[in-house]
Amino acid sequence: MDHGDGLIVETAMKRVVIVGMGFGGLRAARALAGKGMEVVVVDRKNYHLFQPLLYQVASSSLEMESITYPIRAIVREWKGVHFRMAEVTGADFAGKRLLLADGELSYDYLILAAGGATNFFGMASVEQHSFQLKGLSHAIRLRNHILETFERASREGDPVKRRALLTFVIVGGGPTGVEYAGALQELIHNEFSRDYPELDMEETRIMLVEARGELLPALPERLRRYTAERLRGMGIEVLLNTQVQGAESDRLLLAGGDVIHTHTIVWSAGVQACPLAAALGLPRASGGRIPVGPDLTVAGLDNVFAIGDMALAEQDGRALPMVAPVAMQQGEYAARAIIRRERGRHVTPFRYRNKGAMATIGRSSAVADTFGVRLTGFLAWIVWLSLHLMYLVGFRNRLMVLLNWGYYYFFRAQQVRIITSDDHPRA
């Protein structure tokens, strides 16, 4: 506590514990830095991951180091902010204690910002036989699998089996599905067509499957239509109003009995709260999310905030989407709310300001709806590139990503085509 003489009594400082160093936790920690409180960030990983570019790691466009940054390197310049690498196992809310796998941590305020997980909607077979894109290990595993699959196809003499190996199905028509479909198509036709001269790339199929009747539902109709037309123009098969029923090791099962023979299913069709939300024993709503009030606190716990994908916050009668901009604004709000409370000031309800949405479709092509301006093609792509560079953490990461993008733009080359796993390819 500041006593006016510039000295802070360490024992009197309020402690804020932030669980998770994703977009929401990062913003909350930065906003609390230097405000006379002890801030402890807890994460089971020692790095911050820039998830929007995860698909580029999976498609051999970027190295994983380009989209990660050590948490300790981030917080060392932030006064009063500390990092503890630990697995959170539960909480004693009455005793204001966070339970960790290797101990416990007391708090005065708690911000739950551990993010989300892939939602397979109860389909265990799909979870078992598909790839996801939520974490760094998922992207590396998918990249290894794509490369291993082409190696297998290059020596497969049976045309039916080879066709199944060269069929890639992406389920989910949101930004991740659209962006990965475009990136994979460019990887195959720009690089693999030269790497594997023994294969006929006309045998490859990339299919984007969406249960709804449109792609990118957060965007206006004109941009959704442009996206579908652009993907089809690239040779990607877009299947709308198509529901998945299950999966096996070599096929995807669709509602109605149709079957797609494939060894690669990428699931990007749903998001839910991370498993920690259930382990905490708090009330949960749709998607396993924790319901929060207008000030983002959990009912009955005015010192516990839930933000980002962990939280179910409503605005104008609708649940806020599970996207990075929501998490970032909520992280900043939670920090300000704590500061205002400590200063005895009134806390106004959280209000999300929607700045738009965007997605890249491939080289020199994207769609963007930002601040009321709707763009397609090259100009939208430039806006997409600029915003993603701006939000990346670390000068080195921005520079390396910019250099990689520049190299790819001029030479159409995706350089990270290496198999880093010692495991045998899936049979």
Q: Is 297 buried (19+), middle (13-18) or exposed (0-12) by CB count in 10 A?
A: buried
- Distance from C-alpha of 276 to C-alpha of 274, rounded to nearest angstrom: 5
Rg (CA), the chain: 23
Q: Are 199 and 153 in contact (CB under 8 A)?
A: yes
65 three-class SS: helix
Q: Are 58 and 133 in contact (CB under 8 A)?
A: yes
244 three-class SS: strand
59 three-class SS: coil
Q: How many CB atoms lie within 10 A of CB 103?
A: 9
Catalytic residue among 63, 104, 127, 179: 179
3-state DSSP helix/strand/coil percent for the chain, to nearest 5? 35, 25, 35
Tell me the β-bridge partners of 394: none
- Distance from C-alpha of 326 to C-alpha of 145, rounded to nearest angstrom: 33
Paired tokens of 378: 């090259």
Q: Are 289 and 299 in contact (CB under 8 A)?
A: no
Report the amino acid identity of residue 389.
L
Q: Is 304 left (phi over 0), alpha (psi -120 to 50) or beta?
A: beta
191 is catalytic: no
Catalytic residues: 179
